[in-house]
Chain A
Amino acid sequence: MTHEIVHRPYPRGRNRNSPRTRAVAIEGRCGEGRRVQALMAAFCAFLVFLFLMFANAAHADEASVRAIISKFADAEGFSQVEKVIDELAATGDPLAVRTLNALNDGKLQVKRGGTVYIEENGKFLDPITGEPVDGADTSGLDKVKIKNSLRRTISAALSGMTLMAKDPAIRSQAASTIFDSSDASQLEALEKALAAETVPSIREQMEEAKASIQLFNSNDPAEVSTALGTIKARGNRAALALLSKYAASADGELKEQADAAISSVEETLSMWEAGQNVWYGISLGSVLFLAAIGLAITFGVMGVINMAHGEMVMLGAYTTFVVQELIRTSAPGLFEYSLLIALPMAFLVAGGVGLLMERSIIRFLYGRPLETLLATWGVSLILQQAVRTIFGPTNREVGNPDWMSGAFTLGEMSLTWNRVWIVCFSLAMFVALQFVLKKTYFGLQMRAVTQNRRMASSMAIRTPWVDAMTFALGSGIAGLAGVALSQIDNVSPNLGQSYIIDSFMVVVFGGVGNLWGTLIGAFTLGIANKFLEPYAGAVLGKILVLVFIILFIQRRPRGLFAQKGRAVEA
């Protein structure tokens, strides 16, 4: 993170020796007739003078900042580093921003005797200008170590310096840091920044930051009361934190006002929390749906109890890993698209393994559920151990592209991008699969075979081929799910195991042989789980959901959306 600063605070020199007095003096010495000329000259002199003052002031400041920065080189231990940061913070000079950012990112390299460089991508830069240093002496350089408490000191120091930064995002960041810290020493800088701020939303943030400082430092009850109002209006978690901190030490009328503000903020937050829970439920539902949708075809449509289903998901995840690994070594530029590239690959890999399984094992076991269960379970163990042997037993790192990382806020809800994309992806997959089943010739054949095998066979449909293709489709879909799940879960040989029970649960609950059932079932279970979790805890919540499903299956053995008709009875 490096940022450009345009606004420089007024250099100190200007006030010390006012150029205007000198200009007036020159003016006084000149005669009447040459007044205009003299004025011009005076103005030029003034400009030159001003320029010199500016240049001089900047130079002096840079030297003193540089002198402080060079102290990092000989600072021993965290406490001395902290002292240097405090010194830099006291100057309030934006020249120090680059150094402080580098320190925060662990890029500041020093050597005893005052040598300080910023190391970036193997280059050594000047700590103030950020220009590469020619002939930098890089031997014996050490990184300046920092820890969390120092990171807080740095961000407090930075907030004062970056309140007038060019980038609005940085200004907003600075204001919110001050809001959280209520650091009184930033009040002066904050007021100066407030006067210059033009963006209304950031102005508001700065007002709130000012209120936060006043809340803890002002002796004027009226001011504190206004501050309470401003913070209450913000109404988010950060505001709640400040208010509870204040309420703990306040008394009298102000405490009452603070308590009222707390309950009002809590009320707003609790509404958002319900919304947040629904969202969490939807996103858990989408994960369950992804894990189960392949099984909805192999188990739901074909009736094969496929214990190796989870391993197909795992193969998809490992395919993503391999694709990313290849991209990293040969075409790093494509990394943002790695998931899109991995999708078809994962479909082919998992589908291929599925096809092989169907042709070599499962087709001999149709109509013998117990044997199928045992055989596919055996296959799942073989696949797991094979992956363990090839890729090792430890987790593999699958990176998140930028568009899958981070979060955005909607009111007081924070939605993480990876979950948002996974919800979209699962819905897209549902639509695509419905299309394949309902609108294509292959889908028609598939439905015909599963509804009445003998009749379909009599209609010249090659039922063994349809079986193989259906199983491959289900496995391939599981592979696609693996690509998505690699973004939120471990990529390890055990990946599949953790989803197999959930998948069966969803398919059985939703109703065998019905994709709508799987969709509704997954989202119902997801949301139910997420509403139980805050009250019952994760462990008990899961148990309660299982108990609910068992009871439900007692009442409706065929699940939510039972298939009807003679085919079912056969």
Chain B
Amino acid sequence: MFTKAKSSMAAFATLLAVSSASVPANAEDTIKVGILHSLSGTMAISETTLKDAMLMLIDEQNKKGGLLGKQLEAVVVDPASDWPLFAEKARELISADQVSAVFGCWTSVSRKSVLPVFKELNSLLFYPVQYEGEESERNVFYTGAAPNQQAIPAVDYLMNEEGVERWVLAGTDYVYPRTTNKILEAYLKAKGVAEEDIMINYTPFGHSDWQTIVSDIKAFGSAGKKTAVVSTINGDANVPFYKELGNQGIKAEDIPVVAFSVGEEELAGLDTGPLVGHLAAWNYFQSADTEANAEFIKTWKAYIGDEKRVTNDPMEAHYIGFNMWVKAVEKAGTTDPDAVIDAIVGVSVPNLTGGYSAMMPNHHITKPVLIGEIQADGQFETVWETSGLVVGDAWSDYLPDSKDLISDWRKPMNCGNFNTASGKCLGSTPAN
């Protein structure tokens, strides 16, 4: 307890030291990297870890001799889970602190809020979280999964391996679950699933009373067909949801739940005994048995000073994104955003699951897709994975509005939403 308190105090102190060191006295001899993650408010629960992971990656890079002969310097700001504040802080990072790239954001709404700033000031944002797709911007690199790198393979797994015929799509009521469920619904119907075999349910943020919904799921599952729950329930609401599942005795053998927002971090606050066998789809699990991963976990635990801390998928996304940026800067020989945007497409770096991830022209990356089952120790065990890498698809093929769109930021197309049917570039992203 006290060591934990001490270590977080230490982290706090470093944070202070780092932010005070960012006063532009020695602006010329360092390259600045902005970290835009909430350290307070509701999203602090997920984002603080990513801030620490970024600090660790920058630290490691500096030990290797920095970048272009200069040391890297982290500039940490706290947008406090407040969406308009994200835009303000992003502006501050780019204009006042003159950072070369920003790593940050978690929720889609925070990303949407900073987009205009990055476009206006022409800077780079690396976004590390799985998201709903339907977006491709010149200044943003999406290192998390697009729906076809997480949701669709998970549904395929349940359909083919578990023989699921009835589907509950449960999510928190905001843009990511709504768009993902829209894509999944279209996909399931394309696969011949009937309307009455799909149940869609939305709950408010931080929903804590799951009794009715869990018993509805139980009732929905007793129609004589194999049923599964596809959960896009957001972070905090998951703990009471899984507790209720366990208490009402819904076992993974009967009605499996596959989650897209539950990783090792979320399970750390939970007794996973009753949840063994429920699933999650990610592009990385801490249990991945590779040397690179073992090294990463060791460094992380040493850096954070806590043997119990876990690693998760968005951390790996930052690992990949940061290394891609480093490589692109080395390739371009400068941190100038335009040069880096041109250089980074095609850059390929090792990921932590034993392969290489490459930046594609649509600013999404290639990733393997893993399906894992929750174990009693709070880790996931991979039960299925794609045979090769999956290319992130910015525009879903299953939505009528976006199936004709493609994205390619290389010259001469240089367009995020080119309509192949009309042969035109639509220009700025339509709001969704």
Contacts and interface: CB of A to CB of B under 8 A. Distances in A.
Given A78-B383, A391-B5, 4 more contacts: A147-B373, A393-B44, A414-B248, A538-B201
A388 interface: yes
Interface of A: 78, 106, 145, 147-149, 151-152, 155, 180, 237-238, 240-248, 269, 273, 276-277, 280, 283-284, 287, 322, 325, 384-385, 388-397, 399-400, 405-407, 414, 416-419, 488-494, 497-498, 530, 533-534, 537-539, 542
Contact of A395 (B5, B222, B268): B268
Contact of A389 (B12, B247, B268): B12
A127 to B, nearest CB: 20
Contacts of A417: 247
Interface stretch (B182-190, B207-215, B330-338): B207-215
Point out which of A155, A276, A488 has the most chain B C-beta atoms below 10 A from its C-beta: A488
B271 A385 contact: no
A245 B224 CA distance: 4
A416 B1 CA distance: 32
B252 A148 contact: yes
B203 interface: yes
Given A145-B383, A385-B40, A488 B240 contact: yes
Interface string B265-278: 11011110010110
Nearest to B2: A390
28 contacts: A145-B381, A147-B277, A148-B162, A238-B222, A246-B224, A247-B224, A248-B224, A283-B211, A325-B1, A389-B8, A389-B9, A392-B8, A394-B49, A394-B265, A395-B266, A397-B269, A406-B249, A407-B247, A407-B248, A414-B249, A418-B243, A489-B208, A492-B45, A493-B45, A494-B236, A498-B206, A538-B204, A538-B207
Contacts of B381: 145
A439 to B, nearest CB: 34
Contacts of B276: 106
B239 interface: yes
A78 B224 CA distance: 26
A15 to B, nearest CB: 37
Given A394-B269, A490-B239, A419 B224 contact: no
Interface string B247-284: 11100111010000000011011110010110100000
Given A152-B253, A493-B44, A539 B173 contact: yes
Interface in B2-21: 4-5, 8-9, 12
Nearest to A147: B383
A489 B270 CA distance: 10
Nearest to B265: A394
B76 to A, nearest CB: 14
B119 interface: no
Contacts of B376: 106
Point out which of A238, A399, A539 has the most chain B C-beta atoms below 10 A from its C-beta: A539
A390 B12 CA distance: 10
B295 interface: no
Contact of B269 (A243, A246, A248, A492): A492
Given A393-B48, A395-B268, A397-B268, A534 B224 contact: no
Contacts of B203: 538-539
A102 to B, nearest CB: 13
B413 interface: no
B240 A490 contact: yes
B268 A416 contact: no
B162 to A, nearest CB: 6
B420 interface: no
A363 to B, nearest CB: 28
B202 interface: yes
Interface string B221-248: 1111100000000001001100110111
A411 to B, nearest CB: 14
A34 B243 CA distance: 76
A416 B248 contact: yes
B42 interface: yes
B421 interface: no
B161 interface: yes
Point out which of B40, B224, B240, B279 has the most chain A C-beta atoms below 10 A from its C-beta: B224
Contacts of B274: 405
Nearest to B40: A385
B387 to A, nearest CB: 14
B30 interface: no
B216 interface: yes
Nearest to A543: B204
Given A147-B277, A385-B40, A537 B266 contact: no
Interface in B169-212: 173, 201-204, 206-209, 211-212
A523 to B, nearest CB: 14
B277 A416 contact: no
B225 A245 contact: yes
A385 B81 CA distance: 13
B236 A155 contact: no
B327 to A, nearest CB: 31
A355 B218 CA distance: 46
A388 B223 CA distance: 45
Nearest to B204: A539
A555 to B, nearest CB: 27
Q: Which 5 A-B pairs have the closest CB atoms?
A: A395-B269, A245-B224, A244-B224, A416-B247, A241-B222
Given A145-B383, A542-B204, A397 B271 contact: yes
Contacts of A238: 222
Nearest to A532: B212
Given A145-B383, A148-B373, A395-B268, A277 B212 contact: yes
A145 B373 CA distance: 10
B161 A149 contact: yes
B247 A418 contact: yes
Contacts of B256: 148
B414 to A, nearest CB: 40
B247 A151 contact: no
B62 interface: no
Nearest to B207: A538
Contacts of A400: 243, 271
A106 B268 CA distance: 20
A407 to B, nearest CB: 5
A148 B253 contact: yes
B42 A237 contact: no
Contacts of B40: 384-385, 388
Contacts of B8: 389-390, 392
A390 B1 CA distance: 9
A284 B209 contact: yes
A268 to B, nearest CB: 13
Point out which of A151, A388, A394 has the most chain B C-beta atoms below 10 A from its C-beta: A394
B45 A494 contact: yes
Point out which of A151, A248, A284, A287 has the most chain B C-beta atoms below 10 A from its C-beta: A151
B211 A280 contact: yes
A533 B207 CA distance: 13
B113 interface: no
A3 to B, nearest CB: 19
B25 interface: no
B71 interface: no
B22 interface: no
Nearest to A269: B219
Contacts of B419: none
Contacts of B254: 180
A494 B9 contact: no
Contact of B243 (A152, A287, A390, A488): A488
Nearest to B271: A399
A498 B208 contact: yes
Nearest to A237: B222
Nearest to A533: B212
Nearest to B247: A416
Contacts of B223: 240-241, 244-245
Contacts of B218: 237
B98 interface: no
